[in-house]
Amino acid sequence: MLHPFTNNKFTNLPTLFKMKKYIAFLLLTAVFPTVTCGRLSADDRTFSIGKNLTIFNAVFRDLDLLYVDSLKYDKMTADAINYMLSQTDPYTVYLPEEDTEDIAMMTSGEYGGIGSVISQRNNTIYISDPYEGMPAQQNDIRAGDIISAIDGVSTEGMTVSDVSARLRGTPNTVINLQLKRYGEENPIERTFMREKIQVKSISYSSVVADRTGYLLLNDFTDHSAIEVKQAINEMVKQHRIRSLIIDVRGNGGGLIDEAVKIVGYFVPKGTAIVTTKGKEKSSERVFRTPSEPVYPDMKLAVITDRGSASASEILAGAIQDLDRGVIVGERTFGKGLVQNIRPIAYGGHLKVTTAKYYIPSGRGIQAIDYSNRNEDGSVGRVPEHLTSEFTTKNGRKVRNGGGILPDTLSNDERTLNIAYYLYADNLYFDYATKYKHEHPSIPSPDLFELSDADFDDFTAFIKEKNFGYATQTEKYFNELIEIAKYEELYNRIAEDFESLKAKLVPDIDENIKENKDDIVQLLTTEIIKRYYYQKGEIAYSLRTDKDLKIALDILHSEEKYNRILSNE
């Protein structure tokens, strides 16, 4: 029962490739009528599947026998399967044998390797985000280091997947890396042992105000509940916290059982948290809290955003439905589908949606209706008028069909300005690499401030890099001009078009001044990561976090907290 991390989509493909996919789709919709066979009787389904498999086998064999060129059997079959599954939902996917390790990573967060995120740019693979306390960081491998060779094998021409496969391996095996580092003339060599890497579910926890704890929960793997309990216990022991903020922003989900256990720390034993229902009787299950609550009286706030999905929504939704705490932030993603991973032939696996889930009030939160596609195959959100009203434990009104709507709703006020184009061009990353080389240390994340001299130096740096960009407005305007020319309208108002076009070209110097605050925040975040890693990045971001401030304000006011949770 997992939230998906990847999806196979077939868009923006060359015409010939699209044609091949379409042929495969025609074959497989005949072979596996998955959308409609649920309405057939068991006997009819068995006959239909057998009949169409026979047709598919006949087509495949004759194609192999008669087609003028040789066929790539494995690729054709995988493409056909993937296209078939794309007609269900984005979470039902085929995982071939070579992805078996990724399955273990999904459920446990564990793998053998060096403990770093890698990226690719300009045909080079580089370290982008080493994890604190893990082999890469402990052996002084830094963000920005280019990986030129692994165990004596050059990485030239390799993809991220190729390099990742070589970096991963059995724990306690030796690995040798050759690196190129900014500011160093000679290559750097590091030899060390791979280790079992367990990515923690909680990347940060701290007391953020008087007797108020905070924890950032990244996912729901098989050790998440234990991590949450340990983090809370530590804050209770050290600081006697009475209130807790659980941040699930960007948390894509994971194991349902772990979400249920976490909710169980705050509500009575045996409380129904989520119910799953599907086609098969075996998919119907009620998940109840397994133990007595550890923190029955602790005040709670959960912070969500549009990236909070699946198990995150179960946690937030159950807390809301049971009136056990307040929800702050953005409306969640709206993924109310449950997946199981099933082994299939030759080492592969099928991750398949087997059920929908419903939280304590009885509502489902699935926002997109994959069962009713438009004629072009697209899908849309469940319309508001088709949703239903439910009530929480205290009688508050909530609705289904659109994720979890927070009790205190905030909006993303960010705009697409020059600050984000600088980010897309990796200029914050590159400058932070330079900054780290020139500054051996900086103050702690709660004290560090980017100076005006640093900002001016960054401005000079991006000019040296010949930074320039075209806004989305400019791109769409150029398309409008082409359409106007095609419709023979352009010549009538050509002067107006050209005048407006000139005004849409960004004034980089002016845009930098106008958006200095956003630039400073993003640049400071990247610099702090070089010295204090992920924890430093989070600690800095919380200094100006609006949703955190709202949550604290509610938790520190009995009147506000109780008013939200009561049916008044």
Catalytic sites, residue numbers: 310, 321, 335
Measured over the CA atoms of residue 66, residue 72, residue 78 and residue 80, the dihedral's sign is negative
Nearest 5°: the CA angle 214, 215, 216 is: 130
Nearest 5°: the CA angle 494, 499, 503 is: 145
Crossing angle of helices 472-486 and 494-504, rounded to 10° = 170
Q: Do residues 64 and 77 touch, judged by C-beta distance below 8 A?
A: no
Question: Which DSSP symbol is given to 383?
Answer: P
Nearest 5°: the CA angle 178, 181, 187 is: 40
Q: What is the DSSP string of 169-196?
A: --TT-EEEEEEE-TT-SS-EEEEEE-EE
d(C-alpha 9, C-alpha 2), whole Å: 19
Nearest 5°: the CA angle 68, 73, 76 is: 95
Q: Is 522 exposed, middle or buried, given 0-12, 13-18 or 19+ CB atoms closer than 10 A?
A: middle
Q: Which residue do the tokens 């269900």 mark?
A: 88
d(C-alpha 119, C-alpha 125), whole Å: 6
Q: Is 150 exposed, middle or buried, given 0-12, 13-18 or 19+ CB atoms closer than 10 A?
A: buried
Question: Which DSSP symbol is given to 5?
Answer: S
Q: Where are the beta strands (DSSP E) in 123-263?
A: 124-130, 146-150, 153-154, 174-180, 188-193, 195-198, 202-209, 212-217, 243-247
Crossing angle of helices 15-31 and 42-66, rounded to 10° = 140
Residue 437's CB is within 10 A of a number of other CB atoms, namely 15
**What's phi and psi for 114, nearest 5 deg?**
-105, -15
DSSP-derived pairing of the beta strands 212-217 and 243-247 = parallel
Q: What are 234-238's contacts with CB under 8 Å, separation 24+?
A: 234/205, 235/205, 235/206, 235/207, 236/295, 238/207
Q: What is the DSSP string of 452-479?
A: HHHHHHHHHHHHHTT-----HHHHHHHH
Could you tell me which of 245, 195, 244, 253 has the C-alpha nearest to residue 224? 253
With H, G, I as helix, E, B as strand and everything else as coil, classify residue 110.
Answer: strand
Q: Do residues 24 and 79 touch, judged by C-beta distance below 8 A?
A: yes
Q: Do residues 135 and 192 touch, judged by C-beta distance below 8 A?
A: yes
